[in-house]
């Protein structure tokens, strides 16, 4: 694992803990000599993540659609900024240049990006780990919903287990590093389709 893509909010959220955890993850990524890949924003939690990595001597790559450069206020001080034409291209580029994916609390874009990468791993399009940094139990309801989807037969248990989670940056990065994709093949229980 040489690079970690982090999905998180461009908004700061309502608690200082979100900003602090973004900074802690940025420092941990840089401290391990990993490249941070993220959405390129210069505001909110995204700014804190990038600044902490840069201040710790890390390499930071931002990937931002041109149409969002002004709206999300692109970060001017990154190691590298990749401007792309669409949200879809942003996700494809992030997937191409990243070895693992982590999500911190965020909004619809954060969830969309995280679940697309997770789905690509489920489908076998990539074999990259995906994990949640669970700040103050933020992802608890989401994990409960995923457990319910597995209990009700919509997600196979092995695929549910692909969603890693930890409460600390170091713990999450260790879990991402140690991930081995399940050898399950199909995501459909064909014996029950008749």
Task: Output the pLDDT for position 90.
Answer: 96
Helix (H) / strand (E) containing 48: helix 44-55
Task: Output the pLDDT for position 194.
Answer: 45
Q: In sequence order, which residues have a C-beta less than 8 Å from that of residue 61 and are 6 or more positions away?
A: 3, 35, 36, 37, 38, 78, 79, 80, 81, 82, 97
Residues of the chain below pLDDT 70: 72, 184-194
Going from N- to C-terminal start, the domains of the chain cover: 3-137+164-178
Structural domain 3-137+164-178, CATH architecture: 3-Layer(aba) Sandwich (3.40)
Task: Output the pLDDT for position 190.
Answer: 52
Task: Output the pLDDT for position 28.
Answer: 98
Task: Output the pLDDT for position 185.
Answer: 56
Paired strand residues for 166: 133
């Amino acid at each position: 694992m040489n690079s970690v893509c982090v999905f998180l909010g461009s908004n700061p959220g309502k608690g200082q803990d979100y900003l602090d955890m973004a900074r802690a993850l940025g420092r941990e990524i840089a401290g391990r000599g990993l490249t941070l890949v993220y959405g390129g924003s210069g505001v909110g939690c995204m700014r804190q993540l990038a600044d902490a990595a840069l201040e710790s001597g890390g390499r930071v790559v931002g990937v931002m659609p041109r149409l969002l450069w002004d709206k999300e206020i692109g970060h001017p001080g990154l190691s590298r900024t990749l401007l792309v034409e669409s949200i879809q291209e942003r996700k494809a580029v992030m997937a191409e240049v990243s070895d693992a994916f982590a999500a911190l609390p965020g909004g619809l874009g954060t969830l969309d990006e995280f679940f697309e990468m997770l789905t690509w791993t489920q489908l076998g399009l990539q074999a990259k780990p995906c994990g949640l940094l669970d700040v103050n139990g933020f992802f608890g309801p989401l994990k409960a919903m995923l457990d319910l989807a597995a209990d009700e037969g919509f997600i196979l248990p092995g695929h549910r287990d692909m969603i890693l989670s930890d409460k600390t940056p170091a713990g999450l990065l260790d879990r991402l590093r140690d991930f081995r994709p399940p050898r399950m093949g199909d995501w459909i229980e064909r014996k029950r389709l008749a």
